[in-house]
Amino acid sequence: MSQTLQAVRGMNDILPDDAETWEYFENIVRDWLQSYGYRPIRMPLVEPTPLFKRAIGEVTDIVEKEMYSFEDALNGEHLTLRPEGTASCVRAAIQHSLIAAGGPQRLYYYGPMFRHERPQKGRYRQFHQIGVEALGFAGADTDAELILMCARLWDDLGLEDVALEINSLGAPEERAQHRAALIAYLEQHQDKLDEDGKRRLHTNPLRILDTKNPELQAIVEGAPRLADYLGDESKAHFEAVQVFLKDAGIPFRINHRLVRGLDYYNRTVFEWVTTRLGAQGTICAGGRYDGLFAQLGAKPQPAAGFAIGIERLLLLWQACGGESERAAPDAYVVSVGEAAQRLAMRAAESLREHGFAALMHCGGGSFKSQMKKADASAAPVAVVIGEEEAAAGEVGLKPLRGGGVQLRVSLEALPEAMAALLYSDESVQEGQ
Ligand code: ATP
Ligand code: MG
């Protein structure tokens, strides 16, 4: 016998119980984004590999070791399953001249991302992000609004234990000066660096500050701080962001070692972290990336954004007692006999036409077994059709919660009778 096939490691099925939670959550998210004026955009899951190399940077975890890249067997193109959305979103904005045609853009997307990482709780090879990008906006007001937005979503979801960390990466020239000082410092400690550190010393030393290796902590603590290299404009921008955050009453911590794993950031960067999810504690990360448009060969445009990891956010939401309501149908339709079944089909359609959710019993069986299913469905009402009802062109309406007598009405009168039962009979509404 051949073995049954399994999903790819780190790529999960989201089964109905969970998928319902996802959809419930997605509805909250859509309203939240709309309330800040963000509009949806949908990009392909596959992009030319050079897009990510140029946008994210060659010397980053993602590009060095996490991308699903392949050659299209038919035409030899180098393609990659998107590991993140910002590069694609900016590529799309450039390709379709969105800013030139419509001014600054507030955009969001939602969907799967792919990274070849070691799967564990909160870390998968296919995972999902909500990406929010403000393209063409230069000010600290935008940076602050992006952060305020996140805080509001956490609030809407009732999340606890989420803390904000912010930092400024300054301007490219300031980073260059800091980089020279950092390299000089790290060279003195070269023998103590790990393999990644040695390799990055001259290519991406800033990322060494971001290391998770506990043995490097002491070296990292003593390293030159980027904050000491910021010029007046960068400082003023960072200050202005902090003023908005204080006005909004959002506590934050300045984390000088917050450098972010992607090359494209400048000025404000931020992360929302929780202690409730173990090592995978960052639920949302973002910042300003004024250099990305030019890096992709377009006219420079200021921009900022963030991405939320949905799996981590949902884990935290559930840890905080978040629960989606299971939607029950308004009616469960049972029928026995051929004529009754035909009437049942019409009755169910008539209910749906009037906006009710009707679950029709399919597959036959006795009244008793069908009524058991009706009860299990959590519907407040059963529509019951036997041979007698069918012959009269009528249906029975049986309240399933909190008592109440069974009615019999014509097919035409069914929607109205249903509404009366659901919306004016307190015993039905309070029944559960
Ligand atoms: P980490 O340091 O945890 O690897 P990152 O810096 O690589 O995160 P980003 O590229 O900033 O992550 O992505 C934004 C968010 O997407 C993260 O904060 C996290 O919530 C989520 N995320 C990133 N990688 C994964 C993954 N492999 N599985 C699940 N969620 C992820
Ligand atoms: Mg990562």
pLDDT band for position 429 (cuts 50, 70, 90): very low
Q: Is 123 in the pocket of ligand 1 (CB under 6 A)?
A: yes
Return the pLDDT at 251: 97
Binding site membership of 117 for ligand 1 (Cβ less than 6 Å): yes
| pLDDT score of 427 | 47
Ligand lying nearest the CA atom of residue 313: 1
- d(Cα 126, Cα 309) in Å, to the nearest integer? 11
**Hey, which residues does 113 pair with through a beta bridge?**
127
State the distance from the centre of ligand 2 to the C-alpha of 215, rounded, in angstroms. 20
Q: Average per-residue pLDDT in the chain?
A: 93
Task: Give the tens place of pLDDT for each residue, 300-321.
Answer: 999 999 999 999 999 999 999 9
Q: How far is CA 151 from CA 44, 148, 268, 272, 273, in A?
A: 29, 5, 17, 9, 12
Q: Which one has a higher pLDDT value, 427 or 432? A: 427
Residue 192 is predicted with a pLDDT of 85
Strand order in the sheet with 253-254: 39-40, 105-114, 126-135, 303-309, 282-288, 266-274, 162-168, 253-254
Residue 115 near ligand 1, beta carbon < 6 Å: yes
Residue 381 tokens, joined: 């009402």
CB 67 within 8 A of CB 52: yes
Give the pLDDT of residue 430.
45
Model confidence at 432, pLDDT cuts 50, 70, 90, reads: very low
402 and 416 Cβ atoms separated by less than 8 Å: no
Question: 67 pLDDT exceeds 80?
Answer: yes
What are the pLDDT digits (tens) for 369-422? 999 999 999 999 999 999 999 999 999 999 998 777 889 999 999 999 999 998
| Range 64-69, long-range pairs (CB < 8 A, 24+ positions) | 65/116, 66/115, 66/116, 66/117, 67/114, 67/115, 67/116, 68/114, 68/115, 68/116
Beta bridge partners of 109: 131
pLDDT tens by residue, 179-218: 899 899 988 988 888 888 888 888 888 888 878 788 888 8
pLDDT tens sequence across 116-174: 999 999 999 999 999 999 999 999 999 999 999 999 999 999 999 999 999 999 998 99
pLDDT of 110 > 50? The answer is yes
pLDDT band at 73, cuts 50/70/90? very high
Q: What is the pLDDT of residue 219?
A: 86
DSSP string, 350-418: HHHHTT--EEE--S---HHHHHHHHHHTT-SEEEEE-HHHHHHTEEEEEE-SS----EEEETTTHHHHH
Which among 280, 284, 289, 308 is the best mutation to test ligand 1's pocket, defined by most ligand atoms within 8 Å of the CB? Answer: 280
pTM: 0.90
Domains of the chain: 16-170+230-319 (3.30.930.10), 331-422 (3.40.50.800)
- 80 Cα–ligand 2 center, Å: 17
Atom 15 of ligand 1, nearest CA residue = 309
pLDDT of residue 1: 62
